Amino acid sequence: MRVGLIGLGKIGEGIARRMVKKGYEVWGYRNNYEKSCEQYEAGYISGCTTNMESLAQMIHNYKNISDKNQEFLWLQFHQKT
């Protein structure tokens, strides 16, 4: 399953790491692209995007070209300010 995760801060990264360990393909977005690239390089996520629109497009394209039985999931996390 491919997962689109918006918000890769403390909570989002923790969830992403656990999901990757369980075999999920986790693509993420966070406001700080450099930090999301560091998370990718560390293996915490399967990939990252520069904006939410490209993340949505990537998940949408995956759904269209993949097996019809494939599932995908969106998760969004944000901190209260």
Could you tell me the residue range of the domain that residue 51 belongs to? 2-76
pLDDT band at residue 2 using 50, 70 and 90 as cut-offs: confident
C-alpha atoms less than 13 angstroms from C-alpha of 55 in its C-beta half-sphere: 26
- Structure tokens of 60? 């949408």
Length of the chain: 81
Q: Does residue 45 form part of some domain?
A: yes
Q: How many domains does the chain have?
A: 1
pLDDT tens track for 46-65: 999 999 888 888 777 765 54
- Across the chain, mean pLDDT equals 81
Rounded Cα gap, residues 60 and 37, in angstroms: 22
Strand order through the sheet with 2-6: 47-48, 25-29, 2-6, 72-76
Q: Does residue 81 form part of some domain?
A: no
Contact (Cβ atoms closer than 8 angstroms) between residue 59 and residue 2: yes
Q: Does residue 67 form part of some domain?
A: yes
| 0.85 surpassed by pTM | no
Between 38 and 57, residue with greater pLDDT: 38
